[in-house]
Structure 1
Amino acid sequence: MSQNKVFTVLIVDDEPPAREVIRSFLERHSTLKVVGECSNGFEALKAIQEKTPDLLFLDVQMPKVSGLELLEVLDEVPVVIFSTAYDQYALKAFEMSAVDYLLKPYSQERFDKAIEKVLDQLHSGSKTNTKEVIQNRLDASNDFIDRIVVKTGNKMHVIPTGKVRFIEASEDYVMIYGEKSRHLKSQTMRYYENHLDPGNFVRIHRSYIVNVNFVERLEPYDKDTYVAIMTEGQRLKISRTGYRKLKETLNF
């Protein structure tokens, strides 16, 4: 591949001065062309889908949707350089196999080193499978989540976990059922089983995790099994193990 090939860049940061620094530092790099700037993850999703940039400068901490949550819903992830003012996120970014991270404030020299690494990867075409690395990092985390970011078309939605009725297995995906809505997400049932508060969420079956606050009642299904009747009328089968867990959580 020609070393003179021009690669496209999208800058995502909620602070205009931070975006300006990146633009200014990029002036030394003629093979990188800025095709857009975004101040939040919602704008960024639309821009990524429309412009398909080769390189993404991505702030970690942004209002409404974080940089990590944005990457989580992308179908194709560009090469990423994180920029962040929060040192505790730097290691996470590195573990997620971003090409590099820039800890604000950073110098032109530090910026140029990150660009050098980026260009090596872009020219070689050996892009890291960032989606897989993101998933591995999420799986390894012990933290409970308080929201789920989903994508419909070119739009993102943030669903507080308290508004999730139940989650259903759907082959290699899960279906998230919210308030009169449902969203397909590339995620595993085990991830949600491990990262939703067990005081509110119970895996009642290999196919279902329910928010106990939206279980209206239990009804017998056959001699030894039950179904959970949800507040919106869905009937979800409960396994024997799931029934035992549900009894423990609901204290009956």
Structure 2
Amino acid sequence: MNYKAIIADDEKELRGYLKTMLAETWPELEICGEAANGKEALKLVESCRPQVAFLDIKMPGLTGLEVAKKIAGFCHIVFVTAFDQYAVEAFEREAVDYLVKPVIKKRLTQTIQRLKKQLRSSPEPPAGLAEMITHVLANLQGNANANYLRWIKTQHKDNIHLIPVEEIDYFQAEDKYTLVMTAQGESLIKKSIKELSSELDPQQFWQIHRGTIVNVSRIENISRSLTGRGVIKLRKRPESLTVSRNYLHLFKQM
């Protein structure tokens, strides 16, 4: 029997990447639809009637977890997530299928083998799946305040890289994108400074300008310019960063 699946992720490139990986590892699986947000995913499940749904956990509108809670009785679910300590721990604890971005072929193959076994024994999703997802949601909401980004995902051509936030010196706005600056070089991401400011640990990263967020541990010293603005010298970097007057209060404790 041939099975159908949907892929839901708000990033088109990552949907395409997973679709290609699935074509290689499960060629008989039909991808009957792709969704860019949670509401589209719900509509696809209703119209396509897939046996499997691959859901990114962070999507606009409805998250993958919220979608999963609604469709748990209709299909098998595999969550796809950027590495997140709390999410991974919650998935492991509840024995829920998940893949960590960037998806690795070995892990995907293991997940597919498990899905095929489940589908052969019963096309119906596991009993109690909705309850498992409710527990995962409760665990994640309990850790919401500590659930800061631990990795930044970047893409160069067909390669996806994960940069640990500890390795990042600073973020700099660049037109509609943001530059991620590390000792190894620079990368562009689509997240805005505004988005990053709410997703990074405020104990580790400070916004010092409308277009700049700095890793506090990389600061060597700060001085004042003739115009009254702050000037940050970073460790092992030649450039300096400007601190606007609105953010100078952050450095009173240093």
TM-score by length of 2: 0.50
TM superposition outliers: structure 1 runs of 4+ over 4 Å: 53-57, 96-101, 103-106
Give the Å deviation of 1:46: 8.1
SS at match of 1:222: coil
Tell me the residue number matched to 1:242.
247
**Superposed counterparts of 1:133-148, under 5 Å:** 142=145, 143-148=147-152
Cα displacement string for residues 79-138 of structure 1 (whole angstroms, at most 9, x for unaligned residues): 992279xxxxxx942546999562465631459xxxxxxxxxxxxxxxxxxxxxxxxxxx
- Aligned equivalent of 2:181, options 177, 184, 188: 177
> Does 2:220 align with 1:216?
yes
Cα displacement string for residues 189-226 of structure 1 (whole angstroms, at most 9, x for unaligned residues): 12211121111110000010000111122232223112
Tell me the residue number matched to 1:18.
none
- Aligned equivalent of 1:168, options 161, 169, 172: 172
SS at match of 2:232: strand
Q: Give me the whole-angstrom Cα distance separating, in 2, the residues matched to 1:165 and 1:219.
A: 18
Q: Give me the whole-angstrom Cα distance separating, in 2, the residues matched to 1:195 and 1:46.
A: 25
**Superposed counterparts of 1:70-109, under 5 Å:** 81-82=53-54, 92-95=63-66, 102-103=76-77, 105=118, 107-109=122-124
Cα displacement string for residues 57-93 of structure 1 (whole angstroms, at most 9, x for unaligned residues): 9xxxxxxxxxxxxxxxxxxxxx992279xxxxxx942
SS at match of 1:242: helix
SS at match of 2:231: strand
CA gap of 1:246–1:56, structure 2 versus 1, over 3 A, is: farther
Task: Indicate conservation of the 8 Å contact 2:219/2:234, yes or no.
Answer: yes
Task: Indicate conservation of the 8 Å contact 2:154/2:189, yes or no.
Answer: yes
Letter of the aligned partner of 1:93 in structure 2?
Answer: G
Q: Give me the whole-angstrom Cα distance separating, in 2, the residues matched to 1:169 and 1:83.
A: 30
Task: Indicate conservation of the 8 Å contact 2:19/2:31, yes or no.
Answer: no
Identity %: 20
Task: Indicate conservation of the 8 Å contact 2:55/2:64, yes or no.
Answer: no
Tell me the residue number matched to 2:141.
none
Q: Give me the whole-angstrom Cα distance separating, in 2, the residues matched to 1:236 and 1:144.
A: 24
Consecutive unaligned residues of structure 1, counting only runs of 5 or more, are: 1-26, 34-41, 58-78, 85-90, 112-140
SS at match of 1:223: coil
Letter of the aligned partner of 1:240 in structure 2?
Answer: R
SS at match of 1:197: coil
Tell me the residue number matched to 1:187.
191
Letter of the aligned partner of 2:160 in structure 1?
Answer: M
Alpha carbon RMSD of aligned pairs, Å? 3.9
Size of the alignment, in residue pairs? 155
Letter of the aligned partner of 2:17 in structure 1?
Answer: L
